[in-house]
Structure 1
Amino acid sequence: MNNSTLLIFCVMLKNENQEYVLDKNLQDKYDILLGWRKRYTRKEYPRKVMTNLFYDLYAGKALWPKVAEFVSARDKSPGENPNIDFNKALKIIHDTRRKIQLEKIHPNLDLMLSNDVPITAKLCFSDSAQAIESAASGNDEDLEKIEYSYICHGLASNMISYWAAAVLSGKDPEKAIYFINDVLPGGNLETFDDLFEKLIFVSGLYLSGETTSGRNIGKYKALPAFSS
């Protein structure tokens, strides 16, 4: 199934818990951006936003092999690797992700960014270079694009942890996506790129889309103009 058919094969499901999680994560993103607006100048702010986004995305991507290792071990010896409670699994994932950030991403972030290490085949830091420069020079449209990217990609990055916890608690990797969401994207799930594409689709739908029944669920609101 290719990208053009992803929209056609989406099915709306209901999961009030994840809607709450997304609402909270969204508010957290807005609060962080507003805090950075107060702390940094207009020239500094755009790069700060994108640097922190990639710091988080790199850690999220690093969870993929960890989850794959767990699934492989569980499938080979199910009796020795019992499924665990979702909340306990989520704590394990959060702790693992934080350890990855501190030990692997933080000390290497500048090098990873300068080497343009990609998140997926379609997403790398250099993609935002022009928008960063333009926004830093006063272009409000590009500034909003950067803030929207931080929110949309950031929500998808947050969902990686919930997906991973669902897998650790016994869900099939594909079914884990709609366990944590009210959306079921189509397509394969064989690589991290596949996973992230699905979660970006969910995030974008949550921020600015409609359900298949026509219900508007867009939650995105642009921030007010940046005041220096």
Structure 2
Amino acid sequence: MMLLDIKDITTYYGASQALFGVELTIDEGEVVALMGRNGMGKSTTIKSICNLMPPKSGHIVFGGKNTQRLPPYKVARLGVGLVPEGRRCFPNLSVHENLVAAARPGPWTLEKVNALFPRLDERRDQMAKSLSGGEQQMLAIGRALMTNPRLLILDEATEGLAPVIRQDIWRAIRQLKAEGLSILVVDKTLSELLPVADRCVVIENGRTVWQGVSSDLTADIQDRYLGI
């Protein structure tokens, strides 16, 4: 069953057009990789989904509801959980306070998040600003899960993290997939991304240029749209 349906959206930064008819769908329980070189429109697409940058045209339907006239907090309440690029944890709140600040009822509880990321339990009383980058990413994911989303969006899931922390994040993503959570993920580590993604959507210059199952993302396609 389709959870998210994006058709022909155009989005602007002021007078400058950033998206030119992006299209993307996500089914219940599906993991979709949003791919493209830097500056091609991936983060703008995510901001459009969350209505942080409302599209000028096209449509976005989430869970059967058109979300384009909704403020971002109402999009979140429908079940869109965002882990933004740069993590953006509340720096002067503790780990525990970050997790409970936006908590909503559902299967994802403090205990379950701490089981997914035991480091968060170990550092529950530390200020978020004192955590390492990898620990902050775990906290950002945990905070999003505490909202009990239907769709988890991970923008640059492991960028800039140490290899051992990246493995912890990918382990968590695989577990979330196994539990049936729908996920939209942006990441440059194809060796980890492709095995977990059911489908890939490639954006170039603000346009959807390729969609398909991960196994069909050939080396030629990667070189054309994702290579340096």
Q: Which has the larger radius of gyration?
A: 1
TM surpasses 0.5 = no
Q: Which TM-score applies when normalising by structure 1?
A: 0.29
Higher relative contact order structure (alpha carbons within 8 Å, sequence separation ≥ 6): 1
Q: Which has the higher strand share?
A: 2
- The structure carrying a bigger helix percent of its residues is 1
